[in-house]
Amino acid sequence: MARDFKLIFSISLLLLLLDCCYGGKVGVCYGRSADDLPTPAKVVQLIQQHNIKYVRIYDYNSQVLKAFGNTSIELMIGVPNSDLNAFSQSQSNVDTWLKNSVLPYYPTTKITYITVGAESTDDPHINASSFVVPAMQNVLTGLRKVGLSRRIKVSTTLSLGILSRSFPPSAGAFNSSYAYFLRPMLEFLAENKSPFMIDLYPYYAYRDSPNNVSLDYVLFESSSEVIDPNTGLLYKNMFDAQVDALYYALTALNFRTIKIMVTETGWPTKGSPKEKAAASPDNAETYNSNIIRHVVTNQGTPAKPGEAMNVYIFSLFNENRKTGLDSERNWGLFYPDQTSVYQLDFTGKSNGFHSNSSGTNSSGSSNSWCIASSKASERDLKGALDWACGPGNVDCTAIQPSQPCFQPDTLVSHASFVFNSYFQQNRATDVACSFGGAGVKVNKDPSYDKCIYITAGGNKTKATNATALTSSASTSRGNELLQWILKLCLMISLFFSLHSMNS
């Protein structure tokens, strides 16, 4: 009995360590409702060139599946709503589909998820949601028959409309009108360890209520916080608040173990007249850049800090065949000629992202800096400084003791250097210098002695700060590498311990 307990404990610890070694993943949605798109083969080349490792498609097109063959890209494929009725009615329909449309491409094409239906509760044409769970069960049964039920996860995607209440997050609750569908779906997900897939768009909240929702708040740029009165948790962006509302809604129904995966989020670059204030390349670049950094750094949410989450950016290309407002056709990251609408680093390691939407670099003027406002309160400055050095991802080494920008040792001086670093790293836009009113733009270089304020291009006229910042980055990378090595050594040790117990 003791030996069995040790074995179970060791395996559990090993699995926990393995889970800790992986962070959040960022993918992209590859929709094809357009007339002028590149061939699937060229699209795959584009995806590889931009370091994208996870892709969602909305069907099981044979040319697309074939194009992703012999790549390391993990693919999420979809069963369209139009197929749900047939899939729910007959196991043989699903078995035939797997045999003819999926298995010929697997495992050469690395399929990891199948989404059965997309936002079915929002489909106005058919009672799609009533077919979802039976269809999911048949797809899982079909995968079990061919031994793939553990390698390919089955789920469905939903919109935030599945909630009847999303604020405050702790009051998150599912819409009771979907109870007939929700509970069996959640039971399926929990039993099979499949993720709860959700499409989240803070953009719509701002577009529809610009007087009630701050643009900075939805773009991950806010230096102020929204408090959940029930938990005391502080929220600096709407995305986290929406995700936590879902977690609380799941908890209310006693589904605490289900993980959330965001299968769509993004921002449009163009919109109709009522959307012009929100839909722009700059806002799209800011939102998507920040969501990528948020995910790959495992920031988690206030209710689940540090928890890894997988997120898919919508969408690879604009889709001119879509109906509705102009924004519906303008979510693309790339033009049909495969040039970037704006630059995104899918690794999340780049400090800045520069829009190419106008054919030129859209970073702010090289003779523009951001400093702390003399009118800002000490409390506001400290809050903004702490945020910039934390979630804002500014390297604040240069304002530490013995570093070039430590003196004068005042809050205003330290905040000014940090504000400017954040401002320049984020394209030197007005939004990036707001800090809730604590920042102000100036045209005179604030640099002094050996403390050099970088410009929009990240240039420094002296090497002192560059040395300090590079040293800090190297130390951080070294610490991450050391932690990884220690985890690897522990896993190896556990492996040999398990081997000795079994011999």
Sequence-distant (≥ 6) Cβ neighbours of residue 390 within 8 angstroms: none
333-363 per-position pLDDT tens digit: 998 888 888 888 777 765 443 333 333 333 3
Q: How far apart are CA 368 and CA 446, in angstroms?
A: 10
Question: In this predicted structure, which of 146-150, 220-224, 264-268, 406-410 has the lowest mean pLDDT?
Answer: 220-224
Average pLDDT, the chain: 83
Q: What percent of the chain has pLDDT over 90?
A: 52
Torsion region of 482: left, alpha or beta (phi above 0 gives left; psi -120 to 50 gives alpha): alpha
Q: In which band, very low, low, confident or very high, does the pLDDT at 400 lie, cut at 50, 70 and 90?
A: very high
Rg (CA), the chain: 25
Q: In which band, very low, low, confident or very high, does the pLDDT at 500 lie, cut at 50, 70 and 90?
A: low
Which sign, positive or negative, has the C-alpha torsion 340, 341, 345, 350? Answer: positive
Question: In this predicted structure, which of 50-54, 192-196, 244-248, 498-502 has the lowest mean pLDDT?
Answer: 498-502
415-424 per-position pLDDT tens digit: 999 999 988 8
Q: How far apart are CA 167 and CA 175, in angstroms?
A: 14
pLDDT recorded at residue 234: 93
13-38 per-position pLDDT tens digit: 444 444 444 578 999 999 999 988 99
44-81 per-position pLDDT tens digit: 999 998 889 999 999 999 999 999 999 999 999 999 99
If one compares 240 and 20, the residue with the highest pLDDT of the two is: 240
Q: Look up residue 435 and give its DSSP letter.
A: G
Sequence-distant (≥ 6) Cβ neighbours of residue 261 within 8 angstroms: 155, 195, 196, 197, 198, 309, 310, 311
Q: Which of 119, 221, 275, 285 is catalytic?
A: 119
Model confidence at 160: pLDDT above 90 = yes
Q: Which of 35-49, 211-225, 481-495 has the highest mean pLDDT?
A: 35-49
Q: How far apart are CA 336 and CA 346, in angstroms?
A: 20
Q: How far apart are CA 297 and CA 219, in angstroms?
A: 17
Distance of CA 285 to the CA centre of its chain: 13
136-153 per-position pLDDT tens digit: 999 999 999 999 999 999
∠ CA 313-326-207, rounded to 5°: 70
Q: In which band, very low, low, confident or very high, does the pLDDT at 496 lie, cut at 50, 70 and 90?
A: low
pLDDT recorded at residue 22: 56
CA distances from 303 to 199, 233, 241, 322, 432 (A): 19, 7, 9, 36, 26
Question: In this predicted structure, which of 45-59, 197-211, 310-324, 386-400 has the lowest mean pLDDT?
Answer: 386-400
State the average pLDDT over residues 448-469: 58
Active-site residue, 191 included: no
If one compares 427 and 382, the residue with the highest pLDDT of the two is: 382
Q: Which of 221, 264, 275, 319 is catalytic?
A: 264
Which sign, positive or negative, has the C-alpha torsion 336, 339, 342, 347? Answer: positive
Q: What b/e sequence results for 13-22 when a residue is b if at least 16 CB atoms lie within 10 Å of its CB, and e otherwise?
A: ebeeeeeeee
**DSSP one-letter string for 282-311:** HHHHHHHHHHHHHHHTT-B-SSSBT----E
Burial label for 251, CB within 10 Å (0-12, 13-18, 19+), is middle
Q: Which of 274-278, 293-297, 456-460 has the highest mean pLDDT?
A: 293-297
Distance of CA 228 to the CA centre of its chain: 22
Is residue 487 a contact partner of residue 17, using CB atoms and an 8 Å limit? yes
Q: In which band, very low, low, confident or very high, does the pLDDT at 332 lie, cut at 50, 70 and 90?
A: very high
Sequence-distant (≥ 6) Cβ neighbours of residue 454 within 8 angstroms: 420, 421, 424, 460, 465
Active-site residue, 285 included: no
Q: Which of 5-14, 309-318, 346-355, 393-402 has the highest mean pLDDT?
A: 309-318
